[in-house]
Each structure stands twice: as structure tokens, then as C-alpha cells.
Structure 1
Amino acid sequence: MINPVTGILSSATGLPEPTLRLLLTVILAYLAAYLYNKKFSGPDAIKYTVANRTHYLLGLGLGLNVFFNMLSIYHSLVTVAVSYAICFGVGEQMGDRKLATAGVWIFNAAYLMLGYYFMQTDEYDITWTMTQCILCLRMMGFGFDYYDGRKLVTVAGPPTKTELKTVPEDKLNKAAIRETSNKKSPAALPLSFSADTPILQLPSLVEMLAYALFPSAFLVGPQFSFSLFKKWINHNEEDLLLTDDQKEERERAQTLYVWRSVLLAIIYLGAQQTIGATYSTSYLLTDEYSNLPFWQRFLIFPIAGKFAYVKYIGIWLLTEGATASFGISYEGSNEEGHALFGGLANALPGTFETATSIDHVISAFNINTNLWSKYYVFKRLKFLGNKQASQFGTLAFLAIWHGFHAMYFITFLLEFLYVQCELVLRKRLVPIVQSYTKKNDIYFKIWKLAAWIACQLCITYAIVGFELLSLEKSYIAYKNVYFLGHVAILVILGGNILLPKPMSLKKKSQ
């Protein structure tokens, strides 16, 4: 169903209606943040209750969701309602949180898969399944947090005023720590999924809806825990104790961060609409491209792959600014006392553009989804007894989460294999080149440049198939560069099996 507002704008500008609807929804999230802050910030903030803030936020989230999904919003509402009913009926009434969590996972996975089955085509379609895939992970994470809240431990210190108001007396000074936090200090864990994610008591349906439909996060993320939402909506007591100077400094830092996100988004999305439109992945299928000399095809191929990433980074940066506008991404102050608002960043452009390994890319691209996968899938596959098996299982889950297209699975398989290739090359090459790079800074820079080129070639090669979706289209594109990225995997992993082990590995095995 076409939104009448974006339909008119599409006719006037010639831009695709779904793309306009996506961009306008994200931009309207800035207006939602402005309205929220205007009402609940400042000297009058203390007179409003948590319920007031929650209801207002839910209204904003519902409004934006209706603007994007129109009548298809019922998919989101049904998903949240059924997930809540499972937790309430099975977890609260029957007292079986484990079974409730399993129910939430099965229901959300089945709903999303059915949505893909009925809606999926051979092109990228902006439909209600876009918001549904974000909501699916949010509800699955909520289910696991609800499960983790079953075990309570006594903690030191008096309860806060907020806890005295919201936590039952028999649970005061009690806490639950996520089992996959690896006993790291809270400061070492990400803001989105800190160690306090377990849910001690089931929230109200209104709270769950407000969390699920958060105005700046329901469309393309970021993912974050219900506990972070709860802390933010309750307003930490320390926020009420800030001096006027501290408040002014925080507002200044917040404004700068929002503008930084917006300007970077404009640069990325602008580049996508100019260079990326000329060298898109679909261009790799044309006769014009296939008739070019090989060296030109070889150069253009990674450019097309690169701009497949650019559009994602652009929209995430735009969303990041809206999220920072709400203030939920605030992660404290640095050593100089400057407030930081990058706690829910979903892309780190500087790290991504200079990445010299796939690990760097993973840490800088789709950050919060990767963190979600780490804590709710990878670490919970520990029973497999093998890190590579857990990694493979996590990538398989992410492939299924994206949809049924075969190239999703092949792309994530390529990612897995490229990581294995990196491990092989590090073991074999690093001991050799270190004797040169440690002595000469020029050699070190050349080594880093080579690593950067190799990393960029790998990630841009793999994502082409992800973008083209179908096996037939991907085959044409990869055939035009003689499947070099696939051949490289065979050469590296095959060579590692056939060649003698490096001396360092021989010593370890003795």
C-alpha cells in the first residue's frame, strides 16, 4: 500500500516511493525526538511520570510506524502482543521462563519466515518485512533477557529511588547478570547490551510496545536491550542532579554529535546517488561491463561492491543522529568531561574505511546487530564445544534471518571462509614479514596497505552476491571476473593443507 504523501512526492521527484518513504520516516524521527524532548526535558521534566513518558513515546512510535507501514502495522502489533502473551501465560502464570523463551523465538522466526515467503521477490523490496526483521530480533532478545532474569543474586549497596518505586520489596538488592557477559566489568561491555540485560519482572504491554516501536529504531535498528530502554525512560537519578553547566555541556555535545551524524549521512547518501548509481551491482550484469577489458572489470567490480555498503552506512548514520537526539545513546563522559552519545552507533566510518581485517569490518559495520548475534546466538552456542562451529552457526542464523535467497547463505559462507583464510595468512605470513616491518617503518606501511587492499577486495567481492540476490545474476557478475574471489579461497585453504606447517606451528605441536 502506497503512502499518499510519499506517493505525491515520488511523482514530483521521480524517486521511488518506497525509498522516499524510508528516508522520510527516518527524518521524521528527528521531529519525534524534538517533540519528546520539548515536553519531557528542562525544568518541568520532574512533574511527568514514567507512564507519561512511555505513553507519549508509544504514540510517536505508532505514528511513525503507521506512516511507514500504513495498514500493515498490524504485523508489528500482532507480533508484540503474541510475544507478550507467551511470556505472560507461560512464563508468569505457568512459571516456565525457558519454555516461554522458546515460544517467543519460534513464533517470531515463523512469522518472519512466512512474511518472507509471501512477500519476497527477486528484487530488494521495502515492505513491512523490513520493520519485521528488526522487530524479530528485538523480541527474540527480549525473550532471552526474560529467561536470564530467572536467577537472582544479592548485590551490595542501597536500592535507588527508582528501584524503590518500581521493584517489588522481595526483589530489592537483587540482580540478574546475563550469563554470556563473561564476567566483564560493565564499562567493558557495550551500552546496547550491557551486563544488566536480564528482565526480573515482566513489564506492562504498553512498555513492551514503546520499546518495540521506538521511533528512531523500529525501521533499520539499532538493536538494544529492554534494560537500556527502561533506564532511559526512567531517567537516571544522576541526570536530575546535573548542574546548569553540566546540562549545557551535555546539550552542546549532543547537538554536535547529531550534526556530525547528519553531515556524514549526507556525504554517504550523496555519494551513493552519484557514483553508486553509475557503478551499481546491477551494472555488473550489463553487456557494456562484460565487454570492457579485464583490468577495467577488475577495478569496477570492487567499486560496485563498495557502494553496496555505502547506502547502508548512510541510512544508519542518519538513524544514529535521530537516536542521539532522543538521548538514549548517551554513554557517560570521557576523561575531559565531555558527554558522549555514540553508544548506539551502528557504523564507524573511520574504522570501516581503514579496516585491514574482516574483524575490523565486523566491529565497524552493523555493529549492534553483530553485538546482538554475539550475545544471543554465538555465546549461547558454547555447548557445541568449538568456536568455529559457533561462528558458523551464528552466520547461518543471520543468513536465515535475511531471507530465503540462496545468495544470503553463500555470502555469509564466503565471510566465514575469508575469516579462515585470514587466520591462515596471519599464521604463515606475519612471522616472516615481522622481521622486516619491525625494523623499517616503510615496510610496515606497505604491509598495512597490502592488508587494507586484501580486506577491501574480500568484503566488496562477497557483498555483490548479497545485493544481486539470485544465483543466476550472481553467476553472471562473478563470471565477469573469473570467480577470482572464490579461487583465492581454494588456493589459500588448499595450500595450507598441502604445504608444510610453519616452524612456529611445528614447535607448538611438539
Structure 2
Amino acid sequence: MDALFAPLAGLVGASVDQVKLIFCLLVAFPLGSLYIRIPSSNPNARHLFSIAVALFFFIPVLDIPGAFVQLLADMLFTYTMARYNTSPSMPWVVFWVVMGHLTANHVIRAVYNLSYETIEVTGPQMVLVMKLTTFAWNVRDGREKPEDLDKWQLARRVVDYPSLTAFLGYALYFPGVLVGPYLDFSEYNDLVTDALFKGVQVAPGHRRLPSGRKRVAYRRLIKGLVCLGLFVVLGGTYNFSATLEPWFINMSFWQRLVLFQICGFFERCKYYAIWTLTEGASIVTGFGFTGFNEKGKSTWHGAANIRIRRVELAENFKVLLDNWNIKTNIWLKECVYKRVTPKGQKAGFKSGIITSATSAFWHGVRSGYYLTFLLGAFITPLGRLMRTNVRPLLLPAPGAPPSLAKRVYDVSGRLASQVLVNYAAAPFMLLTVSASVHCWNQVAWYGHVLVGGGLVFFYAGGARYCKRLQAKRGSAQAATGTTTPVQAYAVPAALEKVFPPHA
């Protein structure tokens, strides 16, 4: 089918593979409307519909039948292993086999130096690894005593083993089969049987579907297309690869610094586009329903993998990460972080290291990925130190408006989050150590200066100094019965004219 997509690819300046991927994401919307019309009383028909659409995507459209065969092998292995292996180690066997297979394909991709524009097995396989490992743990939880499980495990455990058709329908759920969103089997089963909409009131003779589904889904479609348009029109020029070009190097430092932030935004636009489009297509099928808001309108947050506004306006790095690649964060927490922590013990440094290593290998084997994750491992504790030591000094008295210092702190947190995520993400897109070092050199290593300087400050006595200030403030509160005015820690009064404290 390449001949159908080649003219459009030439028109927009994208690869044929990219155009075919976007076609699959867009055609999932009308296919989702057909899917939801299949009666929930016939779940096998819904399973087979997902399987058929996935086959359509992989074979005639994307023309990667070999990739589909590899994915099918992982599915059949997991289904058989989870069914017949009743030992406690079963989920880890599944994990090592499917992760090992993914890593081998990542190595092949790196050896052949395939760009992100080339669609092959690793993209869909990354999503499938999350599904299969989660399914294995859900089955294991279904064999445990309920009192030994936490809330998430209890809600998602698999007690009645599914048929092969149901399992394949889950693994090949078509809106997310290529790039996500990932979902666990209980969520998929609730979708197929309409149990997700239990309690929704509808008129007699109508399908049990909350109103507003299409409105929300097609808003996601429009948002995704806007992000895609920004990436197509401007992302070709404003991306991290530009930092390697002579025209970028010949700019002044401040021009490079500003342009570097712009490049970071347009690099993110492609993720915003594909994740928002797949979220919308999932909502069309009914997935993602999370109840009703205070105005009685249906809400659909369950399929979200990205919250764009919260990423772009995050007040700190933790908030930014919590709203980026949401489904992967859930998988890492529930299927790695909590599982490597011995029962009855609190997760510690070892659990964090194992989880970070899993995330790195899951993403790939390019050296740039590891530079990103390594730097991120230092940014996170720096943010924690800021919130623990500095933020309490700037909090206003109960009922009082935020002081100028607190507003400056909040704005600084948002600015720092953006400049640091752009700096840390550059190697992830540039892929190699040499390109990453060259890029960081063009922006004077500002990320390392900010992070390294902050950590040195706190560990060299800054944390103790902040604690003393907090203790002094607490003593003043105890003596007067009030909260010490934050203005004592504010910026010079001359700036109050620019930033009125009660604005």
C-alpha cells in the first residue's frame, strides 16, 4: 500500500512509514464507532474485531508481517506460561523472556541505525511487553489470598483464566496496539462486557453508554492534529539536531539558549500528537470512562498517557514526570518497583535503581537514552530537596494570600522544570553520546551546572541552614501563636510595585 501514501509523504515532507502510522491512528476513530456498536452480549465478536483490525494495520498497511509473527509468539508464550506455570516465579519468567526479546530487537535496531521515522517491531513490542508482564502479575495475584494484596492488585487480579480469543483481543486492542495506551486485562474485560458503564442511567432500549463520549474523543482528535501540524511544519527545523548545525553554533549564547527551549517544545509535539490521537480513538470505543463531574458531565481520563498542560506548566519536575507517559509510569510502579520490594518492607534505593534500569532497557539500547535517565536520576532528588528545605520557608500564613517570594518560587519552579527537561531530553532524541556532548556544549552545560550546583549547596550545608531557618520560624510561631510573615524572606520591597503581593 506504499503507493497510496507516497504522494502524501512527499507533500508533507515525512517518511512513508510516518504517514502510514498516522493513517492507522486516524482510521481507528471510525473503526472505534463500529466496535462500540457490536453488542456487549457477544464479547467474542469484539475480540475478533480488534484482532482483525490489528492484522490490517500490521500486514497490508504497515507491511511488517514479520513483526506481527514475533509479537504473536510473545503472546502465545505468555498465555501458555501464565496458565500452566503456577509457581511464584511465573511473572518473572514472563518478564525476562519478553524483555529479553525486546532488548534483542532494540540491539538490531541500533546495529542497523534505524531512525525514529522507521516503523518496525520495537514500537508495538514496547506496548505489548507492558501488557504481557502486567497480565502475568494479574494472574499471579489471582492465585494469592485477597488479604495479601493491595488495592491495585485486588482490583486487577485475574481469577477466571480467559479464553485464547479474549487474551488475543486484549493484547491486540486496536486503538493502542501500535503506540499505546497500555491497559490491563481487567480494564479490557470491563470495556468488552460494558461493566465499565455499570450504573450509568440510559433510556430503555438504548446502549448503556454515557453521553459526551464522542465530544471528548473528537476534541482529542483536534488537539492531536494541532500538535501533529506543529511538528510537521516547524519540527523539521526546530529540533535538537539543529544544535549540531553551523547556523545554530554561530548564534550568541542567549540566542542558542532560547532556541534550545523552542526545539524542546517541538520535539515533544510528536509525542503529544500520537498519544492524544490514540487516547481519542480509545475513548470512541468506550475505554477511559472515569465517572461524572460535579456538573453531571461524563469524564474520560482513564486512557490518558499525557496531560499536555500539566507538562508544559508543571510547577516542579516531579509533577512534569507524573503527567508524562502516564501509563508507563503506572506499569513501572506496579509491575517492577513494588514487585522487587520484599513483602512487608519499604521500597528503597535498590528498588529505585532496578526500576530505572528497567525503564532504560525498555526504551532501548542507544547511549543517549542512558544519559537522559542518568541525569534525570539527579534532577529528581534535587527537586525533593527544594520542596523539603526551601518551599516551607515561603508558605504564607493560613488564609493569607501567597507572598511575592512564594510567587517567584512558583514561577521559578515552572521555568526550571522546562529548561531542565529540555536539557535532559536532548540525548534521548540525539541518541549518541558524541552528539549529546556537542549539544550540551552549545548551551554551556547549563543543566549540569544547575543540578550539580543545587546538590552541592544542599549537601554542603544548605539543607542544615534551611532547617535552622524553619526551626526559627517555628519558634516564632509558638511564641506569638501566629505564623511568621513570609515577607521576611521576600525579595526587595522595590519589586512589590512590579508584583503586588495581593494581586
Look up the SS of the partner of 2:302 in the other structure.
Answer: coil
Deviation of 1:424 (Å) = 2.0
Deviation of 1:239 (Å) = 5.0
- Summarize deviations over 1:286-343 as a string: whole Å, max 9, x none: 1111111111011111221222222101111111110000002112222333222221
Instruction: Give the structure 2 partner of residue 24 of structure 1.
Output: 23
Matches of 2:208 and 2:162 in 1, distance apart?
34
- Summarize deviations over 1:329-375 as a string: whole Å, max 9, x none: 11222233322222111111221221011121122111111111111
Paired letter, 1:452: R
Q: Aligned runs of 1:123-202 on 2, under 5 Å? A: 123-124=115-116, 125-153=118-146, 179=149, 181=150, 183=151, 195-202=154-161
Deviation of 1:411 (Å) = 0.7
Instruction: Give the structure 2 partner of residue 172 of structure 1.
Output: none
Instruction: Give the structure 1 partner of residue 78 of structure 2.
Output: 83
Check whether the contact 1:83–1:104 (CA below 8 A) recurs between aligned residues: yes
Normalised by the size of structure 2, how large is the TM-score? 0.85
Matches of 1:31 and 1:363 in 2, distance apart?
31
Q: Aligned runs of 1:473-484 on 2, under 5 Å? A: 473-484=435-446
Instruction: Give the structure 1 partner of residue 360 of structure 2.
Output: 399
Q: Indicate whether 1:360 and 2:319 are aligned.
A: yes
Look up the SS of the partner of 2:390 in the other structure.
Answer: helix
Instruction: Give the structure 2 partner of residue 498 of structure 1.
Output: 460
Check whether the contact 1:352–1:365 (CA below 8 A) recurs between aligned residues: yes
Paired letter, 2:54: G
Look up the SS of the partner of 2:406 in the other structure.
Answer: helix
What root-mean-square deviation, in Å, do the aligned CA atoms of Structure 1 and Structure 2 show?
A: 2.7
Gap regions ≥5 residues in structure 2 = 472-503
Paired letter, 2:417: C
Instruction: Give the structure 2 partner of residue 156 of structure 1.
Output: none
Instruction: Give the structure 2 partner of residue 289 of structure 1.
Output: 248
Instruction: Give the structure 1 partner of residue 101 of structure 2.
Output: 111
1:68 to 32, 53, 62: 62
Q: Aligned runs of 1:60-459 on 2, under 5 Å? A: 60-66=53-59, 67-72=61-66, 73-89=68-84, 91=85, 95-96=86-87, 98-120=88-110, 121=113, 123-124=115-116, 125-153=118-146, 179=149, 181=150, 183=151, 195-236=154-195, 239=198, 242-244=201-203, 252-383=211-342, 385-434=346-395, 441-459=403-421
Look up the SS of the partner of 1:382 in the other structure.
Answer: coil
Look up the SS of the partner of 1:278 in the other structure.
Answer: coil
Matches of 2:347 and 2:414 in 1, distance apart?
29
- Summarize deviations over 1:163-188 as a string: whole Å, max 9, x none: xxxxxxxxxxxxxx783x4x4xxxxx
Check whether the contact 1:308–1:463 (CA below 8 A) recurs between aligned residues: no
Paired letter, 2:180: G
Instruction: Give the structure 1 partner of residue 496 of structure 2.
Output: none
Instruction: Give the structure 2 partner of residue 163 of structure 1.
Output: none
CA 1:424–1:113: 2 relative to 1, 3 Å:
same
CA 1:16–1:499: 2 relative to 1, 3 Å:
same
Deviation of 1:8 (Å) = 5.3
Q: How many residues align?
A: 462
Instruction: Give the structure 2 partner of residue 173 of structure 1.
Output: none
Look up the SS of the partner of 1:482 in the other structure.
Answer: coil
CA 1:51–1:473: 2 relative to 1, 3 Å:
same
Check whether the contact 2:190–2:196 (CA below 8 A) recurs between aligned residues: no
Look up the SS of the partner of 2:293 in the other structure.
Answer: coil
Check whether the contact 2:138–2:153 (CA below 8 A) recurs between aligned residues: no
Deviation of 1:197 (Å) = 1.1
Check whether the contact 1:436–1:443 (CA below 8 A) recurs between aligned residues: no
Paired letter, 1:141: T
Check whether the contact 2:201–2:208 (CA below 8 A) recurs between aligned residues: no
Matches of 1:243 and 1:77 in 2, distance apart?
39
Check whether the contact 2:197–2:209 (CA below 8 A) recurs between aligned residues: no
Check whether the contact 2:32–2:285 (CA below 8 A) recurs between aligned residues: yes
Deviation of 1:407 (Å) = 1.6
Deviation of 1:249 (Å) = 10
Normalised by the size of structure 1, how large is the TM-score? 0.84
Look up the SS of the partner of 1:196 in the other structure.
Answer: helix
Matches of 2:310 and 2:277 in 1, distance apart?
18
Query: Which has the larger displacement, 11-20 or 337-346?
Result: 11-20
Instruction: Give the structure 1 partner of residue 492 of structure 2.
Output: none
Check whether the contact 1:123–1:469 (CA below 8 A) recurs between aligned residues: no
Deviation of 1:211 (Å) = 0.5
Query: Which has the larger displacement, 430-439 or 66-75?
Result: 430-439
Query: Which has the larger displacement, 450-459 or 433-442?
Result: 433-442
- Summarize deviations over 1:258-293 as a string: whole Å, max 9, x none: 121011112211222233322111101111111111
Paired letter, 1:81: L
Q: Indicate whether 1:487 and 2:445 are aligned.
A: no
CA 1:228–1:373: 2 relative to 1, 3 Å:
same
Paired letter, 1:70: I
CA 1:204–1:8: 2 relative to 1, 3 Å:
farther
CA 1:241–1:491: 2 relative to 1, 3 Å:
closer
Check whether the contact 2:28–2:281 (CA below 8 A) recurs between aligned residues: yes
Gap regions ≥5 residues in structure 1 = 154-176, 184-192
Paired letter, 1:215: F
Deviation of 1:495 (Å) = 2.0
Query: Which has the larger displacement, 418-427 or 15-24?
Result: 418-427
